[in-house]
Structure 1
Amino acid sequence: MLIIIIFLIMIALGVPVGFSMVLTAMTYILSANSVSLTFVPQAMVSGVSSYTMLAIPFFMIVGELMNSSGITKRIFRFANCCVGHITGGLGHVNVLSSMLFAGMSGAAVADCAGLGAIEIEAMKNEGFDADFSVGITAVSSIIGPIIPPSSPMVLFGIAASISIGSLFMGGISVGIIMGLFMMITVYLTAKNRNYPKHKRAKFKELFDAFLSAVPALLSPIILVGGILSGFFTPTEAAAVAVFYSLIVGIFIYKELKIKDILRVLVNGIENLGLVMLLMASGKIFAWVLGMEKITELATSLLFGITDSNVIILVLINILLIFMGTFMETNASILILTPILMPIVNQIGMHPIQFGVIMVFALMIGLLTPPMAITLFLTSKLGGISFQRAFKAVKPYYIGLIIVLILINIFPQITLTIPKLLLGKSF
């Protein structure tokens, strides 16, 4: 337990998570004198020597490319024609746009940075309060890592050694349910505040918007279809997504420039460095947890408190949301997966169901201070304070918690689509 205390102290002092894990591991090795310090770099290299991990930087680059290639504008226009006439207008457009964009980028931050700027500006211009515009933009962005593809699910699949394709399929229904609950909240708020809505789009307008968005909408179909058919792996699908985004941006929409590609690559390399540090340090930290039998201690502690699977699951969910509030999502997955998976297996939960639960709960944490990256981004885009932005998202927590409870209670929500589409391979 001393190792965990040292790690938590470093986090509290503001030491980056990756460095905290490495320093904690080195402290353990020096104090225990069990292996040579040369084991540290060897284990770290082993942690990033994964073919599957290549999917993460590729998906990061896809989000950046789509924000620079005109895809986000066309998605927004198509979503506007589909649901802009419902009470709540652009609030519903905001949610549907994020659901469509999630099928291409799989990242909440990419959604905020690209779609967020378009959505907030459009909503403010049409008379929506800045707070409401910022709130729904921040909330809808967390659908990104739930609907496939999803970088956090790739990472969980690597950490838990389970099928990434199955995890992707498990997130589809959850993402749709999330969107529906968000739209219900938008509808009730808009009705109370008398927000504007558009006239129902004529068929020609809807058809033109659809044709314009077809190249963008084909992306998730190509990715998911390719994975399901076995034509390519999730890692290869990520590379295909990058290539397809380049083709669409340069040759179809003709809005992607060379300078944009260079900027995207630079951003991608920076993000890749962060992820690789976390993966490398997570490998050595997981070794320390194993040597100290932290997973066994955690299991004994939980089952010592209660023998109720329900209460144990509630405690796990609370822990996940709490971790998400102050720790980066990828770091949380790498740290918690080796600790929690033995407990989850013991209570009989399917690992695919738990993987979706983990990502979903961490996304709720991502929306919650003090970390709340999505809130920081959207509050800046909307020109309001962080405090006002947090107040604006509070009504949506009710729907998010309900969805979290549902996917805990009913495994069919996350497991039905993988079973139907993947069959025996699931």
Structure 2
Amino acid sequence: MLIVALTFVFLLVIGMPVAFAIAISGATYFLQHPELPLTIPVQVTVSQTQNFALLAVPLFIIAGNFLNHSGITERLLTLASVLTGRLRGGLAQVSLTLSALMGGVSGSAIADAAMQSRMIGEAMVNRGMSRGFVAGVLSFGSILTPLIPPGIGMILYGTIGQVSIGRLFAAGIVPALLLWLALAVTVSLTARRRGYPAERDTRPTAREFTQALRGGIFALLFPVILLLGLRMGVFTPSEIGAFAVIYAIFVGIAIHRKLNRASFIEAVEGSLADVGAIMFLIALSAIFTYGIVLDRVPEVVSRWILSLTDNLHLVMVLVVLIVIAAGLLVDATVLIIMLTPIFLPLARQLGADPVHFGIVFIVAATIGNFTPPVGAAMYAVCSIIKVGVGSYSRESLPFILAVTLVALVLVFVPGVVLFLPEALFAR
């Protein structure tokens, strides 16, 4: 597998698209083992797409696109402004709140970061905030999105690792709130030092709050309905994806009346592109992971890590560092697909709760979206805000520190992660 790994890194360095880099490097394993039929790569690629549990991925993507085209985003922005507009940092605080509220709608950190950059990025700059700071807030704020149900990363991790997706959905909520708090404090301290103004000078009236809440209530109810549907056994994860699509269409047509023929077609086209990209990646990853299983790479990695320490918390810290380092080169979705079969067996061997480990793992993998040299969310935001990666990186250091501190809390205090799933999904 060493040649496979080196080939993969080389292909990434020369700029080959990740999906093809995975497939080609995985295929080199079969060239090293001529006794294996060359029909296997084709078979595993096709069989990977036949996984019924993965049906939830395209369904939630479609639901998110329909919700985004139903006028919910603007309503959530109004609600976010009412809730946090008077805090120091103004629109920066509003953007963090919007990321938390949008988690149940988009499910994608990159999509959320790009959307917010277009909506309020220039407005934040016009309020006197530096472009590097604005890009840092909009980029790192989107780390909340994958942790609010229905995060696509949790669906992938749960499907690959055979972990309850319902428990993962519940487990992501408290860590998301902690990250929100840590980033909000960071913004507040920076705004105080630089004199960034609040967005609102007066407290919202009860009428303003009621109207804003009414406008965003259907987006807020979305993750709640998902959790209750899974908890009550009404839906399986795949079935609840289908319900999510119906819910999104109903809200867009009957409630907000913004989902017309043109926006419907636009949402479908966007969904086809998103689903095609992710499922193509998932299908080709089967070629790469075939050799991992056959060569028992998880056992080799486990022995190496256990030779250093068998303390669960230290092992999780080490895994986090490895995942963050890998995230400098590889997208979060790819990391979850490729590394879950390697690290989850080790965590289980040491007695870790797979839900606890999964949330920590997903947070660590998502950080790579915001760091050079290949952070997808970082590049999306920097290109829209028109700021250099160097300026972005300098201004993002406080946010990196805040996220790192929360990640350490999640590692050493598992109750923070497991409190809600244990309460909702009693064993």
Q: TM-score range by the shorter chain?
A: over 0.9
Q: Which amino acid aligns with 2:113?
A: C
Determine the structure 1 residue equivalent to 2:332. Answer: 329
Q: C-alpha displacement at 1:308, in angstroms? A: 4.3
Find out whether 1:417 has 2:417 as its counterpart: no
Correspondence 1:17-56 to 2 at 5 A: 17-56=18-57
Partners of 1:43 and 1:229 lie apart in 2 by 35
1:30/1:194 CA distance change after superposition, 3 Å: closer
State whether residues 119 and 137 of structure 1, in contact with CA within 8 Å, keep that contact through their aligned partners in structure 2: no
Q: Which amino acid aligns with 1:267?
A: G
State whether residues 68 and 255 of structure 1, in contact with CA within 8 Å, keep that contact through their aligned partners in structure 2: yes
Q: Which amino acid aligns with 2:195?
A: N
Partners of 2:90 and 2:8 lie apart in 1 by 47
Q: C-alpha displacement at 1:238, in angstroms? A: 2.3
Q: C-alpha displacement at 1:229, in angstroms? A: 1.8
Determine the structure 1 residue equivalent to 2:278. Answer: 275
Q: C-alpha displacement at 1:122, in angstroms? A: 3.5
Partners of 2:23 and 2:224 lie apart in 1 by 40
Q: C-alpha displacement at 1:73, in angstroms? A: 0.8
Correspondence 1:99-138 to 2 at 5 A: 99-138=100-139
Which one of the candidate residues 206, 209, 212 is aligned to 1:203? 206
Deviates more, 1:263-272 or 1:345-354: 263-272
Counterpart secondary structure, 2:147: coil
Determine the structure 2 residue equivalent to 1:408. Answer: 411
Counterpart secondary structure, 2:172: helix
Find out whether 1:377 has 2:380 as its counterpart: yes
Determine the structure 2 residue equivalent to 1:352. Answer: 355
Counterpart secondary structure, 2:286: helix
Q: Deviations over 1:90-143 (max 9, x none)?
A: 222111111011022211122123333223244234443333322211111111
State whether residues 108 and 144 of structure 1, in contact with CA within 8 Å, keep that contact through their aligned partners in structure 2: yes
Q: C-alpha displacement at 1:420, in angstroms? A: 0.6
State whether residues 157 and 358 of structure 2, in contact with CA within 8 Å, keep that contact through their aligned partners in structure 1: yes
Deviates more, 1:174-183 or 1:282-291: 282-291
Q: Which amino acid aligns with 1:230?
A: G
Q: C-alpha displacement at 1:335, in angstroms? A: 1.1
Determine the structure 2 residue equivalent to 1:63. Answer: 64
Partners of 2:350 and 2:165 lie apart in 1 by 22
Q: C-alpha displacement at 1:262, in angstroms? A: 1.9
Determine the structure 1 residue equivalent to 2:399. Answer: 396
Partners of 1:414 and 1:236 lie apart in 2 by 26
| 5+ long unaligned stretches in structure 2 | none
Counterpart secondary structure, 2:234: coil
Q: C-alpha displacement at 1:355, in angstroms? A: 0.7
Q: Deviations over 1:14-70 (max 9, x none)?
A: 333332333333332233123211122111111111122111122223333333222
Partners of 1:125 and 1:14 lie apart in 2 by 36
Which one of the candidate residues 296, 302, 306 is aligned to 2:305? 302
Partners of 2:110 and 2:288 lie apart in 1 by 27
Determine the structure 1 residue equivalent to 2:186. Answer: 185
State whether residues 106 and 145 of structure 1, in contact with CA within 8 Å, keep that contact through their aligned partners in structure 2: yes
Q: Which amino acid aligns with 2:96?
A: V
State whether residues 375 and 390 of structure 1, in contact with CA within 8 Å, keep that contact through their aligned partners in structure 2: no
Partners of 1:378 and 1:115 lie apart in 2 by 9
- Identity of aligned pairs, percent? 31
Deviates more, 1:166-175 or 1:89-98: 89-98
Determine the structure 1 residue equivalent to 2:174. Answer: 173
Q: C-alpha displacement at 1:266, in angstroms? A: 2.0
1:111/1:292 CA distance change after superposition, 3 Å: same
Partners of 1:330 and 1:212 lie apart in 2 by 32
Determine the structure 2 residue equivalent to 1:10. Answer: 11
State whether residues 63 and 111 of structure 1, in contact with CA within 8 Å, keep that contact through their aligned partners in structure 2: no
State whether residues 230 and 237 of structure 2, in contact with CA within 8 Å, keep that contact through their aligned partners in structure 1: yes
Partners of 1:334 and 1:140 lie apart in 2 by 23
Q: Which amino acid aligns with 1:184?
A: V
Q: Which amino acid aligns with 1:242?
A: V
Partners of 1:7 and 1:325 lie apart in 2 by 14
| 5+ long unaligned stretches in structure 1 | none
1:306/1:221 CA distance change after superposition, 3 Å: closer
Deviates more, 1:103-112 or 1:253-262: 253-262
Number of residue pairs matched by the alignment: 424
Q: C-alpha displacement at 1:8, in angstroms? A: 2.9
Aligned CA-pair RMSD: 1.9
Determine the structure 1 residue equivalent to 2:237. Answer: 234
State whether residues 64 and 110 of structure 1, in contact with CA within 8 Å, keep that contact through their aligned partners in structure 2: no
1:34/1:73 CA distance change after superposition, 3 Å: same
Determine the structure 2 residue equivalent to 1:81. Answer: 82
Partners of 1:73 and 1:170 lie apart in 2 by 28
State whether residues 356 and 414 of structure 1, in contact with CA within 8 Å, keep that contact through their aligned partners in structure 2: yes
